[in-house]
Amino acid sequence: MKSSHLLYIILLITLLSTACKDKEPETPGNSGDDIPAIATNTWLFNSLDNMENYTTTTPENRYDMDVVRNEYESVQLVIQTDSKKSLTIERSGDADAIEFQCRKVASFNGKYDVLVPCDNEIEPEGKIVRAWLTFKIKPNAETKRYKEVIRFKEGSQEYAVAISLNVVDASLPETPSIASVFGINPQNFIFSGLSEEGKIEKRKEASDLLLEYRISPYFSTWLSGTMKTECFSSPYDWNDDRTWSYLADKRFNRIALPSHGLSDEELQAMLNKARENGLLEKAYFYLWDEPTKTAEYEEIRSMADRIHQYAPEAKVLTTFYCGPTDGEYKDDLLATFDLLNGATSLFCTSVWALQGSETWADRCKDKLRPDQEWWSYVCMSITPGLASNSTAIENRATMWRCYKEQTSGFLYWVVNGFASVYPLRPRSDLPEGDGVLIYPGESFDSDKLCTSIRLERWRDGAEEYDMLMMYEKKVGREATLSLLNNVYKGPTNYTSQSKYALALRKNLIEGISE
């Protein structure tokens, strides 16, 4: 009896001492979130699924995912509201570790593809809110679980979702491990009322935006009546001091330099400047787009010789989808490597020319000499690709293909290739969505540029490319290919189900975390 009484006293003292202890500090936003246990008017989807199917799925107000530092992750949200009034947006989370952005999903040409930045409110379409919630894990984020609570309010009505982000001990590299170079048409912006400096800032906004997508952007102008291209990765002139500090941004994997409009003296001075700033190794010259005639090959060689007399180590990039259409090597795709040997060092082949065969990719790589690289590009309605005919997974699989085929670089011709920006019209001579990955904000009542959902999904694939490279360093290429094979076997054989694509990402994150 005495022993049981003593045991009771000990237990009571233990409980009291525990209750008196200070509570451990909670991560901001990780306290009770008072989110309803059962969702009613909100639906959450991963970034691959079609949110228009919300009426056939169960409402959700919680979402959980593993993430790494320096990564962007997004979820889609649909809210069925009680009115057509705008909702204010409130975020509760750790802003020191995670950046948050809410964007409204808008339509262009009948497709929900445009992501319009929201400030502090979002307007329903009818009584439906379609939103894209993006979380960027900062490089200094601690390894732990963070909870983000996002509330949408109108009067007495509130719709809230909780996103749980488990940050593991791994970081994507600041400089992407593959050169992904995307073109910007410097004239396809709405410039009304802007000074020359204002126009420069408008262009810089687009370049800055693409850098956030693991892209090395360049401004591209086709010289009138030719396929010659003048490409430059800076929004400023080459002899503006701001150029060299801008191009020193570590997010650039490669930088394009101009040549056509420069005198010999200016070309030499620019190359010297690039060398002095330690940027010549990253630099390339994109002189001609898709040559098809033997005479055009000779022009490329002549232009390359001019550059090489001042910088023998300078790289020239040439895109091509066929061999010469005339002369001794007519219709021989692989002859391009011989005809441009010594002039071109970055051979960029259209995946259309590969005919869906990885054997052709191997044959291209076999043609390379020392100090040469093989790149690839997509355009038109090629799948997997970036035009509107490609599925969400195909947008992502574009970079899975780059890893599997071991390309050193990936090129996309232009991100704002509209026929007109005011009014906003696509080109009628191109497949829907080809050359359109960003939109002018003015067309969607925003003062900021808008991105496409397709570009978001491509970035997920670009991040996975880096994860695949990190995974390969740990377990080797054979094991990495075995993992990738679960979702991507080749350019005509890959998964169509988002659950398998998400499983790949989860397995990669688990594999690269310390």
What is the rounded CA–CA span in Å between residue 103 and residue 83?
20
Q: Do 310 and 418 belong to one domain?
A: yes
Q: Do 255 and 378 belong to one domain?
A: yes
What is the rounded CA–CA span in Å between residue 60 and residue 404?
36
What is the rounded CA–CA span in Å between residue 134 and residue 109?
24
CB 415 within 8 A of CB 183: yes
Q: Do 72 and 161 belong to one domain?
A: yes
Q: How far apart are the first and last CA of the chain?
A: 54
Give the torsion sign (CA, 164, 68, 457, 422). positive
What is the rounded CA–CA span in Å between residue 343 and residue 297?
9
What is the rounded CA–CA span in Å between residue 298 and residue 304?
10
Which DSSP letter does residue 242 get? H
CATH code for the domain in which residue 60 is found: 2.60.40.10
pLDDT at 26: 39
Phi then psi for residue 391, to 5 deg, are: -75, 170
What is the rounded CA–CA span in Å between residue 400 and residue 483?
11
Q: Do 189 and 72 belong to one domain?
A: no
pLDDT at 75: 98
A 10 A CB-CB count for 252 gives 24
Q: Do 292 and 167 belong to one domain?
A: no
pLDDT at 236: 98
What is the rounded CA–CA span in Å between residue 366 and residue 360?
10
Give the pairing of strands 315-320 and 346-350: parallel
Give the residue from 112, 143, 171 where a domain finishes. Answer: 171
Going from the first residue of the chain to its last (514 residues), give the mean pLDDT of each consecutive group of 10, the final group possibly shorter.
40 37 38 80 97 96 98 98 96 97 97 96 97 98 98 96 98 98 97 96 98 98 94 98 98 98 98 98 98 97 98 98 96 97 98 96 98 97 96 98 98 97 96 97 97 98 98 98 98 97 98 94
Q: Is residue 290 part of a domain?
A: yes
What is the rounded CA–CA span in Å between residue 432 and residue 421?
16
Burial code of 153-177, b = ≥16 C-beta within 10 A, e = fewer?
Answer: ebeeeebbbbbebebbebbbeeebb
Q: Is residue 23 part of a domain?
A: no
Q: Is residue 502 part of a domain?
A: no
Phi then psi for residue 463, to 5 deg, are: -65, -40
Q: Do 163 and 184 belong to one domain?
A: no
What is the rounded CA–CA span in Å between residue 60 and residue 489?
33
Q: Provide the token pair at 506.
A: 């989860």
Q: Do 471 and 382 belong to one domain?
A: yes
Q: Is residue 162 part of a domain?
A: yes
**H or E segment and range at residue 250:** none
Q: Is residue 217 part of a domain?
A: yes
Q: What domain range includes position 458?
A: 179-496
Q: Provide the token pair at 16.
A: 């009291």
CB 101 within 8 A of CB 158: no
CB 206 within 8 A of CB 184: yes
Q: Do 194 and 161 belong to one domain?
A: no
Q: Do 191 and 121 belong to one domain?
A: no
Helix count (H) and strand count (E) of the chain?
11, 25
pLDDT at 514: 85
Q: Residue 65: which of 53, 87, 48 has the closest Cα? A: 48
pLDDT at 72: 98
**Rg of the chain in Å (alpha carbons):** 26
Beta bridge partners of residue 147, listed in sequence order: 164
Q: Alpha carbon 163 to chain centroid distance?
A: 22
Instruction: Report the number of distinct structural domains present in the chain.
Output: 2
Q: Is residue 388 part of a domain?
A: yes
pLDDT at 20: 35
pLDDT at 34: 84
Q: Do 242 and 326 belong to one domain?
A: yes
Q: Do 154 and 246 belong to one domain?
A: no
pLDDT at 6: 40
Q: Do 245 and 113 belong to one domain?
A: no
pLDDT at 10: 38
Q: Residue 350: which of 414, 435, 299, 410 has the closest Cα? A: 410
pLDDT at 295: 97
Q: Is residue 90 part of a domain?
A: yes
CATH code for the domain in which residue 362 is found: 3.20.20
pLDDT at 13: 38
pLDDT at 14: 39
pLDDT at 47: 98
Burial class (CB in 10 A: 0-12, 13-18, 19+), 124: buried
Q: Residue 452: which of 414, 420, 488 has the closest Cα? A: 414
What is the rounded CA–CA span in Å between residue 447 and residue 441?
6
What is the rounded CA–CA span in Å between residue 421 and residue 230?
22
What is the rounded CA–CA span in Å between residue 386 and residue 400?
13
Amino acid at position 271, single letter: L
Q: Is residue 233 part of a domain?
A: yes
Give the residue from 108, 140, 171 where a domain finishes. Answer: 171
CB 85 within 8 A of CB 154: yes
CB 491 within 8 A of CB 477: no
Give the residue from 109, 142, 171 where a domain finishes. Answer: 171
